[in-house]
Amino acid sequence: MASTWAATASNETISFNNLQNGVDTGVLSQKAAIPVSNEQITKTDANIYVNIDTSFAPYAAKASNQLVVKSNFKSVVLVSNIAINGGFYGIANNQTTSGPVQLISGLNDTGSGTDGIIYRSTNYGDTYTSILTISDPLNRIKFMPAFRHASYLTVPPFVSVGDNGRIVTNSVTDATSWITISSPTTQDLYDIAFNSTVGIIVGNQRIIKTNTNNRINAWSIVNSVASLWRA
């Protein structure tokens, strides 16, 4: 059985640990604390722990006590308590010692310009509050637990990327305070990904990577031709 969400085949059943990995890598959004277990999950379990489209036909066809496979999942996030003129394009989660932190990133058209925004929830998305508004629209956001900013070595970072080369990260663990990271480009950035040591950001004619293993405070251009929407 695969240990990660990405490595799980579409027809394979899902364990609680697979589900947590899907949350950690930004594929799924969490709505309750997920048990640490290799036990396979049922249809009922899936709807308890992550936000999914329960009307999605492959999921809806399952009995409540049936095991679900990866292809039964269609991730969805409903945000009902935020009034903006724009949209959200990224979601990320961290389970801190004081409780869950879920962030969503996107943009808001104010009429005189378009701002980048990040909203924060501490109850798995039941309610959100604004924690960041900046001048450049934001796209994807990821939680990068194995990485650190050199100036904030005790803070597990979220990183969000956006237009005009914008890169931002939290400077405190509860993600209520944010800083901008120096960017090597002014091209729009769309998505971020990482392995155990290296972070990659892709965008409009730009691919950039971290300069130092497991550090997010410095980035360099590695490709100035390719345009990618997803990392």
Q: Which of 54-68, 75-89, 95-109 has the lowest mean pLDDT?
A: 75-89
Cα angle, residue 165 at apex, residues 159 and 169 outer, rounded to 5°: 20
Sorted by where each begins, the domain ranges of the chain are 16-72, 86-223
Q: Which of 21-30, 175-184, 212-221 has the lowest mean pLDDT?
A: 21-30
> What does the block give as tokens for 38?
């290799």
Average pLDDT of the chain to the nearest whole number:
93
- The residue ranking higher by pLDDT, 89 or 83, is 89
167: Cα within 13 Å, side-chain hemisphere:
27
Euclidean distance between CA atoms 197 and 65, whole angstroms: 39
Is the per-residue pLDDT at 77 higher than 80? no
Q: pLDDT grade, residue 51 (50/70/90)?
A: confident
Q: Which of 5-19, 36-50, 66-80 has the lowest mean pLDDT?
A: 66-80
Encode pLDDT of 157-196 as tens digits.
Answer: 999 999 999 999 999 999 999 999 999 999 999 999 999 9
162: Cα within 13 Å, side-chain hemisphere:
27
Closest CA to 142 of 155, 160, 156: 160
Please give the class, per CATH, of domain 86-223: mainly beta
Q: pLDDT grade, residue 231 (50/70/90)?
A: confident
Q: pLDDT grade, residue 207 (50/70/90)?
A: very high
Share of the chain above pLDDT 90, in %: 74
> What does the block give as tokens for 208?
């950039």
Euclidean distance between CA atoms 161 and 103, whole angstroms: 13
Cα angle, residue 92 at apex, residues 115 and 60 outer, rounded to 5°: 115
- The residue ranking higher by pLDDT, 55 or 2, is 55
pLDDT at 167: 99
Q: Which of 87-101, 184-198, 208-222 has the lowest mean pLDDT?
A: 87-101
SS (H, E, C) 161-173: EEHHHCEEEECCC
pLDDT at 79: 65
